[in-house]
Structure 1
Amino acid sequence: MAQDVNNFFEEQKDWSRRKLAIVGSYLAGFSKILGNRSFQQCVYFIDGFAGAGQYKDGSKGSPLLSAELAFRYQNEQKPYRINCINIEENEDNFQNLVSVTAPFNGLVVNYSGTFSANLDLILNQIGNCPGLFFIDPFGVKGLDWVDIMKITHRRAPTDLWIRFDHRNVRRLSGFFDSGSRGADSKFQNLQNLYGVHRPDILSQLLHGNTAEERINKALNLYVRNLEEEFIKSRNTGYSAAFPIVSLGGETKYHLVFAAAHQKAAMLASKTVYSAERNRTLERQDYLQKKSGQLFLFSPEPTEDEFFVFIVEQLRSDIVRLCAGQQLSREEVFMLLIQDNGKKWFGRFSDKHLNSALTLLESEKTPIIQSKNGPNSKDKTIFTFR
């Protein structure tokens, strides 16, 4: 375990706030879309490593934030409801979790024990209702591939957000064939994480010549495995990772998304962008306050300059990806967030894409030759030169 659980809940860090903002915003969109369409009109939010529910500084954790959203929807008499399920192993944290979620009786169920030990019970409980799983462990212990497979092979709509601790993976990978005490059991945690039975094969898959290469291999292997599991189960799947970076500029971990449906992938990308769009300005403010000095020359582009930059980059990639094809806006969006290591996931908004499409149809020799609707509609079909 990378960090003591009790100490973790002393104070909420800036990167934790952004992680929870992403997951909370996604839950709102997920429940609205699937709650309105679902026959049962029920949506489940499963918090696999729920923690104490609230930090000691008063900041709200994911169980409290999801419960408040469920309560608000109930008061607003939405035609659907969010049911919150929390799992927590640490007894002290569990007691605090029960206490802070007590006002939401009927909307929240708390289970004591490990995520793995409770998973079969929970899968049976949620049945055929849509489920959003938030799996946020310390390190990688308890995040076993056998459990992930049970989730991805559900027949009902199922999306996941997973905290991927690349630093812990790197640390544990060093125990392969090291001969140190307890090395085999420590490396076994990685085998459980990836679902790879032979340690020598996993070590080869994770090997890289530089730290950056090893991190990328570890992350990409996990993302690829998630996507492939959804494809096996549903014949379609998408997974991508987004770095969660502190205001000081350090990548703390990655938030990995996975789902079967491309609408979910699009919602996830838009949600990440919306939550992270002000991070450069927040970081500049943080560095300014830390140094105690005003920046005479801004090290970051203005919001307008950055918007234009993103639009121009999108335009260039759309030309490359879509030339000679007839595609819907939805298909263009998916091509972008699947391209080149999924670099565009979480990096642009609908407004950026609409502006890029406008550029392509207004050039002297238009790249878009025809369309059957507005740029803002997902079903609009574009014919690209």
Structure 2
Amino acid sequence: MVSLFKKVIPIQGKYLKPFSAKVASITSNREIFCIDCFAGAARYEDEKEGSPLMLATLSDACSQWQVPVTFKIINVEPNLENFLSLESETQSWIQKGIVTNINKKFNEAVPEILSKIGNAPALFFIDPFGPTSVYFSHLLPILRRSQSATELIVNFDTDGLQRIADATQSKSDNPKTVKAISTNIQNVTEIIGRSDWLTKYQSANFSTQDKQKFLLSLYIENLMKFGYAVATYAIREALGKATKYHLIYCTRHNDGIFLMNDFIFEEENSMLSDHFENRMTLFPTSFDDENENRRKELSLLVQSFLKENTKTTRKQIKHNLIFEHFAQFHSKDYRTVVQELIASEKLHASHGKKRINDDESLTYSG
């Protein structure tokens, strides 16, 4: 089965280019690492390139930039057949010292990974096969890195975690069931990295969606304790489909949040465009109408923020709204809405001009 994270590969590719260029500038040797922690085979069953080959190809492009970047890749894969596929398909990059393949489980490979990357900037892709493949303790050595340019993109199996948590609710006193309940409680605790979830989970009258939101929020809170800004995006196969996974993006730099927001929005917008194109003859609402409605919604959110923060900047507006509304609005939407508020004289730039940058001081008059 192909992971839903395959949908995120285009986002990886778009984000990695500015990430590579920016963080390489803070190093003396312009060397950065990308670690594919659950790499899988080099190709999918349909023979299309998987993330290991996509990353290797990107490395070639980085080496040809006007100011070259040495983009190194570490693939972690415990399955021997998949590992041999990686070794074969990435042999030319291995010989150049660009690719390293590790035939271990992720948690067993972490010490070797950290030894290889030293203090270099690094981006970790963590796409496990099921929620129990990554305990929070496995991430701790990564989260505790002193290198500020350490980022993580995690495919979090929200649906799978909720099912394990639900399995702790049985009232049976059958010895096998009691043992299974104990194991499930321990698994959830290990995955989210805290034990205080159980009492509220058992006592609250949660809907399925509320259960998933609750467990996800505890996980995010734990990640944030290590100085990361964390944003989440619900991964869907198509519009109207239920969310089973969340992309969790962790960075110590707000610019990264803004970039990732826009790249994910563009993928979502592409899916929305296809949706309307396929159903145009049946429904009168157009893609343009949807864009207009989205900006009206953002305008209301911005004005609500401005009523409480009359002195601000466009960057502060984005920063305060982007986490709760991650990937719902593009940077272009923020610029358009702010520009419209200036044009309507509800918002005033300090220099009195109509055109502004992100850091221009703004005053709201309502």
Q: Matched residues in 2 for 1:37 and 1:238: separation?
A: 20
Q: Matched residues in 2 for 1:50 and 1:21: separation?
A: 16
**Do the aligned residues in 2 keep the contact of 1:36 with 1:79 (CA within 8 Å)?**
no
Q: Matched residues in 2 for 1:42 and 1:374: separation?
A: 41
TM-score with structure 2 setting the length = 0.88
Shift of 1:162: 0.4
Which string of whole-angstrom CA distances, capped at 9 and with x for unpartnered residues, describes residues 217-253 of structure 1?
11222122212222xxxxxx31121111112632231
Shift of 1:380: 2.4
- Summarize the Cα distance change of 1:359–1:244 in structure 2 as closer, same or farther, 3 Å threshold: same
**Do the aligned residues in 1 keep the contact of 2:197 with 2:215 (CA within 8 Å)?**
no
> More displaced, 250-259 or 205-214?
205-214
2:22 aligns with 33
2:62 aligns with 73
Tell me whether 1:91 sits opposite 2:80 in the alignment. yes
SS of aligned partner of 1:103: helix
Q: Matched residues in 1 for 2:350 and 2:261: separation?
A: 25
**Do the aligned residues in 2 keep the contact of 1:370 with 1:384 (CA within 8 Å)?**
no
Give aligned pairs, total: 351
Tell me whether 1:212 sits opposite 2:190 in the alignment. no
- Of the candidates 140, 143, 162, which is equivalent to residue 154 of structure 2? 162
Show the 5 A alignment for 1:301-340. 301-323=285-307, 324-338=309-323
- Summarize the Cα distance change of 1:43–1:322 in structure 2 as closer, same or farther, 3 Å threshold: farther
Give the % identical residues.
Answer: 25
2:224 aligns with 227
Tell me whether 1:351 sits opposite 2:348 in the alignment. no
SS of aligned partner of 2:21: helix
What RMSD in Å do the two structures reach over aligned CA positions?
2.2
TM-score with structure 1 setting the length = 0.84
Shift of 1:115: 0.9
- Summarize the Cα distance change of 1:297–1:322 in structure 2 as closer, same or farther, 3 Å threshold: same
- Of the candidates 259, 262, 267, which is equivalent to residue 270 of structure 1? 262
Show the 5 A alignment for 1:170-209. 170-176=162-168, 178=170, 180=177, 182-196=180-194, 198=195, 201-207=196-202, 208-209=205-206
Shift of 1:140: 1.1
Structure 1 residues without counterparts, runs of 5 or longer = 1-7, 231-236, 289-293
Q: Matched residues in 1 for 2:66 and 2:131: separation?
A: 39
Tell me whether 1:119 sits opposite 2:103 in the alignment. no
Which string of whole-angstrom CA distances, capped at 9 and with x for unpartnered residues, describes residues 233-292 of structure 1?
xxxx3112111111263223111111122112112211211222111233456xx5xxxx
Q: Matched residues in 2 for 1:248 and 1:279: separation?
A: 7
Shift of 1:356: 0.2
**Do the aligned residues in 2 keep the contact of 1:206 with 1:214 (CA within 8 Å)?**
yes
Structure 2 residues without counterparts, runs of 5 or longer = none
Shift of 1:42: 1.4
Tell me whether 1:240 sits opposite 2:231 in the alignment. yes
Tell me whether 1:82 sits opposite 2:68 in the alignment. no
Give, as a single letter, the amino acid of the residue that structure 2 aligns with 1:55. Y
Q: Matched residues in 1 for 2:264 and 2:356: separation?
A: 19
